Structure 1
Amino acid sequence: MLFNKSQNKQLKQINQIRFSPPQILSIGFLIMIVVGSLLLMLPISLKPGKSISFLNALFEATSAVCVTGLVVTDTGTTFTVFGQTVLLLLIQVGGLGFMTFGILVAMLLGKKISLSNRLMAQSAMNQFNLSGIVKLVKLVLVMTLVIEGAGALLLTITWAREMPLGWAIYYGIFHSISSFNNAGFDIMGDYASMTAYVGSWPVNLVLSFLYILGGLGFTVILEVVQKIGKWRWSLHTRIVMGATLLLNLVASVLFFLLERHNPLTLGSLPLGDQILASYFQGTVPRTAGFNTVDLTQLNSDSVLLMMGLMFIGGSSGSTAGGIKITTFFLLLLVVWTFIKQREDVTILRKRIPKDLVFRALAISMIGIGLVFTGSFLLEVTEKGLPLMNLAFEAVSAFGTVGLTLGVTPNLSEWGKIIIMLLMFVGRLGPLTIALALTHSKHDSKLKYPEEKILIG
């Protein structure tokens, strides 16, 4: 076929198009969601007498890939083992990132990892340095198998006492992967989550151990393991570990104080179960979407507490969502620096670069804007539902947590689309989406005159 000069020029321009890592990550996640939706609609994925529309299948797949846990149809009673396995694979790939698995497949096939693949893996895993990224991917995969395997074994031993061994193994594997990836999917049936195990120490401790580890981030876990006994952690690891411990402790105590007299949640439980449930519900909002008490019966102050925890989220480079705990901590440092009238943001004799301060501010403002916009749109589309419940749903979707006050199954078509968009942005990160939609950065050599404005 012959092409004229104009057509040849257009072809050359098309061949020169290069996608940035954020764009490739966004496209990759979209492809996984669409493929997962089609698989969930297959007859082999659904139990007899069950059916699912494309929109609902798209919602389920989005929730799985974005490791959220919000569902419009009950996972345990709607999907067969095949359908649940599809969801589990989407959770695993979505939690670790498709680039991680892409590098794994390339290594298994003996192919060389290209520079572009390394750059995309670096972006997906939120790393500063490109060196050692393939080694990090290997360590992450091994660590994931070890942690999920240990969790599955402990859950299997617990559930083998009340169900056949084969099902106990399956339940153990499913909930271990779901918990470590902070997905919050369960197959207990009837939207019950873990309410039947509110007093089970083994189930509560194993699940919380898994989702807390997943929320810490692979970089933090590897550094802690590699430096056992040395206590010479990087600033990032020290902030994540310290802030996580403090936030979990404060949240658990507050939940206990706010709900201990509520007969519909903690009030009717023995003291030991109250403490266990408070610990579980105090730590779970920043990461996974499990619950051991009926969230629809919570006091309004407890709901606000959980919304704040969901918005903060877990650690950068983890399977958790939200603005991330390091972002929140950095914002507090900025406020403290301004109050003390200091020029540099410092912590533990280290100075934080100003570009990270701007990044934290951008992530937080975009997150606030998204949650507000999502809540506003849900208030418009979901007439008859309380605003508090809708705002809770929006924060849960953005934070990829998966907790709900009973709103998700009753969402309209537009409501489902809004929640899907929030889950997608929350999983990839608001800044990643913003960068994917913009051109490459460039520094302008033009400097404009400075002028002050009144603020505060």
Structure 2
Amino acid sequence: MRRLLRHPVRLVPFGFLVTILLGTGLLMLPWTTSQHQYTPFLTALFTATSAVSVTGMSVVDTPNYWNEFGLLMITVLTQVGGIGIVTGATMVILVVARRLGLRSRLLVQAETAEFGIGDLRRLLLRIAGLALVCESIITVVMTARLWLTYDYPFARALWISVFHAVQAFNNGGFALYTESLIGFSTDAWVIVPLAIGTVVGGLGFPALFEAAREWRRPSRWGVATKLTVWGSLTLLVAGFLGMLVIEWANPRTLGIYAWHDKLLVAFAQDAFIRTGGFNVVDVEGLEEESYPLVIALMFIGGGSASTAGGIKVTTFFLLAFVIWAELRGEPDVTVGHRRVATASQRQAVTVALLSVALVACGTVLLILLTEGVPLYAALFEVTSALTTTGLSVGVAASLPESGQFALIVLMFVGRIGPLTLGSAIALNTRRRLYRYPEEQPIVG
């Protein structure tokens, strides 16, 4: 344990692994299922991993297979996985001991990617407050709608609202309806709060707090906040317009709605695509031209230090600025009159290339392990698992055990991050006291 604490980043995958195994054990118990039978180990492991990694992918019919206790366990695992194992543990330390030690602060820094150590106490309180406020607002609005409009009993409406509020803010994607949120696709009082909660949870805590603090002067935002906020807005608009153009006349998706409902459904589905996991249209009914768009948005994901997955918005747009600077022959990469450190550029390239390699290898592996799975379906499922999105074209439930286990590994790696996993396995803090002569090989 002392060796682990010397490099706190190693505790991140360890903490998630322990939580997944504990969740698996609990979900295997007979009183978590509707039929009061023991759940097979692989099914419980898949569900626990999906919940802790805030993916939302499932190999069983979630609302019918699990009873209230099982669904409560999924809710708890999703909340813990979304906020972060280490962050949650440090919150407990903060409440009990009223103080944070240096090691605890380092652990939270490894999980939240916070820029400094001194503000961790305030950061943790803000994270807890933001999660509570956001989930409470969603719960109140959705409860009132289900109770007053759909004649749900109040207790049932409250439980459904709490479950979906936790899933939305944490970008989980589990739903208490077999067809996810398709039944509420044109009800703005239900899907708009969930969509907004998904976007807020997926922006990232550092970017949210800095943007809120300096909302009158966006020019003072840091590079990470600018890339996250403006990049997320750009992706939302691009996904919304792309969904409208491609799916406007598709009778299996937007084609059955009036024009104003098409706008609402396209907005909600666009918000859920990047890591939310809910769907308000039939994903299997999308046009073939929509799959590259959806896969690209899932691959990019949300903001850094957020409940979302993917390579992150900051990584994607930072690489875009790197390419632009190289094409123009600029010696430095600049964003908003700030020069981006070389180390950040290397991290962005590493994350992107590792993720591309994992998607490619995972797709090939899934095709080899499963006979008859089309390439686009395998690519979609692998990308959804690695980016912890949870959308599915109906392949996951029909996969053999080897294919399901492959998705489990991808969800785990996708939650802790390729760079974090690599650092945890091969962390090297030694600094060389010398540098080799420089040479410029021919590239291209």
Same fold (TM over 0.5): yes
Specify the alignment match of 1:5 in structure 2. Answer: none
Q: Does 2:170 align with 1:181?
A: yes
Query: Match for 2:61 among 27, 49, 74?
Result: 74
For 1:357 and 1:196, the matched residues in 2 are separated by 44
Computing the radius of gyration over CA atoms, which structure comes out larger, 1 or 2? 1
Specify the alignment match of 1:437 in structure 2. Answer: 425
Query: Match for 2:199 among 212, 232, 235?
Result: 212
Contact 1:50 1:78 in 2 (8 A): no
Contact 1:212 1:287 in 2 (8 A): no
224-233 or 374-383, which moves further after superposition?
224-233
Q: Equivalent residues in 2 for 1:299-310 (5 A)?
A: 299-310=287-298
Deviations 1:49-100 (A, max 9, x none): 6552011100000000000010011211011111111110100010001112
Specify the alignment match of 1:48 in structure 2. Answer: 35
Q: How far apart are 1:184 and its partner, in Å?
A: 0.6
Q: Equivalent residues in 2 for 1:112-261 (5 A)?
A: 112-160=99-147, 161-162=149-150, 163-188=152-177, 190=178, 192-231=179-218, 232-261=220-249
Which sections of structure 2, spanning at least 5 residues, go unmatched?
none
Q: Does 2:353 align with 1:361?
A: no
Q: How far apart are 1:446 and its partner, in Å?
A: 4.0
Q: How far apart are 1:278 and its partner, in Å?
A: 1.3
Q: Does 2:16 align with 1:26?
A: no
Q: Matched residue of 1:109: which SS?
A: helix
Specify the alignment match of 1:90 in structure 2. Answer: 77
104-113 or 69-78, which moves further after superposition?
104-113
Structure 1 residues 16 and 158, CA gap change in structure 2 (3 angstroms): closer
Corresponding residue pairs, total: 441
Specify the alignment match of 2:370 in structure 1. Answer: 382
Structure 1 residues 229 and 378, CA gap change in structure 2 (3 angstroms): same
64-73 or 222-231, which moves further after superposition?
222-231
For 2:381 and 2:360, the matched residues in 1 are separated by 11
Q: Matched residue of 2:254: which SS?
A: coil
For 1:286 and 1:442, the matched residues in 2 are separated by 37
288-297 or 269-278, which moves further after superposition?
269-278
Query: Match for 1:415 among 389, 403, 407?
Result: 403
For 2:351 and 2:2, the matched residues in 1 are separated by 33
Structure 1 residues 105 and 263, CA gap change in structure 2 (3 angstroms): same
TM-score using structure 2 length: 0.96
For 1:324 and 1:222, the matched residues in 2 are separated by 18
Matched residue type, 2:296: G
Matched residue type, 1:299: E
For 1:318 and 1:403, the matched residues in 2 are separated by 19
Q: How far apart are 1:409 and its partner, in Å?
A: 0.8
Deviations 1:20-60 (A, max 9, x none): 22211111000000000111111221112655201110000
Query: Match for 2:250 among 259, 262, 270?
Result: 262
Q: Does 2:273 align with 1:273?
A: no
Specify the alignment match of 1:3 in structure 2. Answer: none
Q: Matched residue of 1:346: which SS?
A: coil
Query: Match for 2:303 among 315, 321, 332?
Result: 315
Specify the alignment match of 2:385 in structure 1. Answer: 397
Specify the alignment match of 1:325 in structure 2. Answer: 313
Deviations 1:297-324 (A, max 9, x none): 1111101100000000000010000000
Contact 1:179 1:207 in 2 (8 A): yes
Contact 2:55 2:411 in 1 (8 A): yes
For 1:150 and 1:18, the matched residues in 2 are separated by 38
Provide the identity percentage. Answer: 34
For 2:14 and 2:36, the matched residues in 1 are separated by 34
Specify the alignment match of 1:285 in structure 2. Answer: 273
Matched residue type, 2:328: K
For 2:281 and 2:364, the matched residues in 1 are separated by 28
Matched residue type, 1:88: T
TM-score using structure 1 length: 0.94
Q: Matched residue of 1:300: which SS?
A: coil
For 1:396 and 1:72, the matched residues in 2 are separated by 14
Contact 1:182 1:288 in 2 (8 A): yes
Q: Matched residue of 1:244: which SS?
A: helix
For 1:223 and 1:447, the matched residues in 2 are separated by 38
Q: How far apart are 1:445 and its partner, in Å?
A: 2.9
Q: How far apart are 1:442 and its partner, in Å?
A: 2.2
Q: Matched residue of 1:209: which SS?
A: helix
Deviations 1:252-302 (A, max 9, x none): 111111111211111122111211111122222212100011111111110
Structure 1 residues 157 and 16, CA gap change in structure 2 (3 angstroms): closer
Structure 1 residues 21 and 36, CA gap change in structure 2 (3 angstroms): same
Contact 2:5 2:103 in 1 (8 A): no
Specify the alignment match of 1:9 in structure 2. Answer: none
Contact 2:113 2:304 in 1 (8 A): yes
For 2:211 and 2:425, the matched residues in 1 are separated by 36
Contact 1:68 1:289 in 2 (8 A): yes
Matched residue type, 1:36: G
Q: How far apart are 1:382 and its partner, in Å?
A: 1.1
For 1:414 and 1:148, the matched residues in 2 are separated by 36
Matched residue type, 2:275: T
Which sections of structure 1, spanning at least 5 residues, go unmatched?
1-13
Matched residue type, 1:316: S
For 2:110 and 2:9, the matched residues in 1 are separated by 7
